[in-house]
Structure 1
Amino acid sequence: MSNIVDPLVDRIAARVRAERERRRWTLAQLADTSGVSQAMISRIERGESSPTAVVLGKLSAAFQLSVASLLALAEGAQDEAPGAPGVRRRADAAEWRDPATGYRRRQITGPGFPAEIAEISLPAGARVPYPAAAFAFVRQVVWVLDGRLTFHDGDTVYELHPGDTIELGEPAERVFANTTDNACRYAVVLARDVRP
């Protein structure tokens, strides 16, 4: 285990706790709603454990937020002035890494932009499933930039190559998989349909 302190883990912890408290849910209520154990939620909220992409998918679904929204809020994008023009340097961008798969995510847009855009790097052999509820209330496009993405949309499987896009329809269980020996990089463009 690494001794490096990741400030993003602390911000994710604070965001999960704040979202739970905003709804006046107990740990047990969030566990029941999300399917994530109380013990794991408690460790996440105390900053003792970095959640995996799968766990974040379950928590975001329980909160009726997209994973992108939950992470963007945790990354501190809310601290920027909405609508303020500016350059976002790659070196300054917070990057979240899934401890289970090595999946990396970087928020591209700030909170004032009408769509959320994130850049994802999916390592060779990685597979990240999300429950259908993680896609409620949002419209989403996945755009493959490099490599190949095997995308499961419910029971349908798509092989996506550089330049390919897929616009997601009604919420379904989805899996982002990289079945190759090389990393896959893609962008997720998300717009909210309805505010919960």
Structure 2
Amino acid sequence: MEDSNGDLEKNIGSSLKALRIARAMTLDQLASASGVSRAMISKIERGEASPTAVLLARLLTPLDETLSGFFSNTNETLRPLSRRSEQPVWRDPETGYVRRAVSPRGHPINVDLVEVDLPAGARVALPPMQFNPPQMQYVWLLEGALSMECDGASHDLNIGDCLFMGLESGITFHNRSSQPCRYAVVLKKG
């Protein structure tokens, strides 16, 4: 889903619409379940608006999908190797955070590996996400410093630190430093 051709909004929109239809949800049902207006969902699906990470997470939760799952192309041919140059990349238009889907696609393992670059000063507050069964993740800080709020607690991570959490209580990622930070997310689905 990289924006090399300027088609990112259309790719996100068409993928969101396909997922909504596959889950047999109408625009009105998704609007009601997500708290996002029908008009905004329609604009996103038509590629006329680029959703933020927070908005996209709100839309995906009632569709029983994670950001990681959404940005992975499960229709790809099974391959054991995921080349960096071919990994889907998405930039949050609000915060500038960059999300790279690292895991090779199509494998039956219920784990996704994601690399995130969070700009200096950026803050991303993801809403609570309810999945059945619950989903969990590790965040492993590779560069910089990162403050996180999850499960009712605050954590300051330094290089090499790894934090485990569920997704049901909401998560805030905050780079309070003047330098970008980079971290890996290992998400266990189901």
TM-score, normalising length from structure 1?
A: 0.86
Q: Which residue of 1 aligns with 2:61?
A: 61
Q: How does 1:11-160 map to 2 (within 5 A)?
A: 11-72=11-72, 77-82=73-78, 84-86=79-81, 88-109=82-103, 110-112=105-107, 114=109, 115-133=111-129, 137-160=134-157
Deviations 1:53-95 (A, max 9, x none): 00111012111211111122xxxx323223x323x33223221
Contact 1:57/1:134 (CA < 8 Å) preserved in 2? no
Give the ranges of 4+ consecutive aligned residues of structure 1 lying more than 6 Å apart after TM superposition: none
2: CA distance between counterparts of 1:25 and 1:64? 12
1: CA distance between counterparts of 2:117 and 2:68? 14
Structure 2 CA distance for partners of 1:94 and 1:125, relative to 1, 3 Å: same
Percent identity over the alignment is: 39
Contact 2:141/2:157 (CA < 8 Å) preserved in 1? yes
5+ residue gaps, structure 1, are: none
5+ residue gaps, structure 2, are: none
Equivalent AA in structure 2 for residue 37 of structure 1: S
Bigger fraction of residues in helix: 1
2: CA distance between counterparts of 1:8 and 1:111? 22
CA RMSD of aligned residues (A): 1.8
2: CA distance between counterparts of 1:130 and 1:94? 20
1: CA distance between counterparts of 2:131 and 2:142? 22
Deviations 1:145-181 (A, max 9, x none): 1111110004311001111111113621211111111
SS of residue paired to 1:186: strand
Structure 2 CA distance for partners of 1:122 and 1:113, relative to 1, 3 Å: farther
TM-score, normalising length from structure 2?
A: 0.89
